[in-house]
Amino acid sequence: MEQQEKKKTNKKFIIIVGILIGVGIIYGGIKIVHSFSHETTDDAQVEANMNPIIPHVAGYIQKVYVTDNQNVKKGDTLFVIDDQDYIVQLEQAQAKLAAAESQLAVSQASVGSYQANAAASSSEVKSATGNIETAKIKLWRATNDYNRYKNLYDNHSITAQQYEQALAAKQEAEQELKILENRQKASASQKNAAFSQTEISEKQVTVAEANVKSAQAALDAAKLNLGYTIVTAPIDGQLSDVDLQPGQFVSQGQSLFYLVNTTTKWVVANFKETQLDKMRVGQKVTLEVDSYPGEEFEGVVAAFSPATGAKFSLLPPDNATGNFVKTVQRLPVKINFTKNNDAEKLSRLRSGMNVEVDVHLK
């Protein structure tokens, strides 16, 4: 009896072992077949855009409108910086612009005045030129009369009085010509001075116009800075820890907290370089997030990184120095979620969650 029981026990043990071996063979065969058309990795995480909230201007916090982990919409006010200093700067910029515009108006009026003077001087020069020509004709006539009267006087054909009258007329014509020529020179000098002053005033207008543009730019900058005292959400999303208090001083360009984009998510999977031979953009991907076991998400290979993760590290390895030990490198692969996924399930995913990735090679 004991021998029969031992034989039965041995048979059960052999059957169980056989079943386990069979299951192992089947499982191993499935895995081998699966490996021919799939590439998997557990080195993957959910990613999302994390926008740092950075103030454009420095100042003291006046009021905070949000709390930790709050959902916000694009344009919602996050916090306000005390704007008194920036209001003063705006008023100063407005005053400088008004002064620059007044100076421009004065310069433009001066240009008109100098242009009128230049035109008048040009007319005087032209008039003087015409008078000189008339005076030259008079002198020519008086000189001819004088020469005739002198010959007659030398022949005692006319009286001394007639001769003196001809001489006086000649001298008067000569004097008149000299006066007109001097006037012409004076008018020409005034004309040149007027044109020079016009050019100077036109340059002053150019400088005044530049000052107006500069003052306008300063005013625009002051308006921008005043507007920057109200810090708003750049996108829809969820805030991180908001460590701000009224009265706290913040610096320009200081990163205060983060706004995480909750509408657009993707997965970055770090595959070994030996797994990339058959992987292509557009291949289907099955995703399992550790936080939600048993739930699968559908994705698609979107892009391959231009370099391995090690090359983007703070201190990338340099294999040309020291002893070389070959290590398998990993390449980040971007995987986008498809539209076939449930939106409510996707909304539960958070940046940084671990993911099991299975890429369908065929």
Q: Poorest-confidence range of 81-90, 166-175, 208-217, 331-340?
A: 166-175
Q: Are 82 and 59 in contact (CB under 8 A)?
A: yes
Q: Give CA–CA dist 69/67, Å, rounded.
A: 6
Query: If you average pLDDT over every residue of the chain, what do you get?
Result: 83
pLDDT digits (tens, 9 = 90+) for 210-231: 889 999 999 999 999 999 999 9
Bigger pLDDT: 236 vs 125? 236
Please give the CATH number for the structural domain made up of 59-82+229-248.
2.40.50.100
Q: Give CA–CA dist 192/189, Å, rounded.
A: 5
pLDDT digits (tens, 9 = 90+) for 77-94: 999 999 999 999 999 999
Which residues contact residue 150 at a Cβ distance below 8 angstroms, ignoring those fewer than 6 apart? 163, 166, 167
pLDDT digits (tens, 9 = 90+) for 281-299: 999 999 999 999 889 999 9
Check if 38-52+255-317+324-360 and 59-82+229-248 are the same fold.
no
Entry pTM: 0.66
Of 248, 255, 246, 244, the residue nearest 67 (C-alpha): 244
Looking at residue 140, its pLDDT comes to 79
The H or E element that residue 78 is part of is strand 77-81
The matching CATH number, chosen from 1.10.287.620, 2.30.30.20, 1.10.1060.10, 3.40.50.300, for 85-228 is 1.10.287.620
For the chain, what are the domain ranges? Answer: 38-52+255-317+324-360, 59-82+229-248, 85-228
Q: Give CA–CA dist 130/180, Å, rounded.
A: 10
Q: Are 41 and 268 in contact (CB under 8 A)?
A: no
Residue 352 scores a pLDDT above 90 = yes
Residue 322 scores a pLDDT above 90 = no
Q: Which residue is listed with tokens 């008039």?
A: 127
Q: Give CA–CA dist 122/281, Å, rounded.
A: 80
- Percent share of the chain, pLDDT over 90: 48
Q: Give CA–CA dist 344/337, Å, rounded.
A: 13
Bigger pLDDT: 22 vs 191? 22
Does the domain formed by 38-52+255-317+324-360 have CATH 2.40.30.170? yes
Going by pLDDT thresholds of 50, 70 and 90, the confidence category of residue 35 is low
Q: Give CA–CA dist 192/321, Å, rounded.
A: 78
Q: Are 287 and 355 in contact (CB under 8 A)?
A: yes
Residue 118 scores a pLDDT above 60 = no
Task: Give CB contacts under 8 A, 24+ apart, made by 171-175.
Answer: 172/142, 173/135, 173/138, 173/139, 173/141, 173/142, 173/143, 174/139
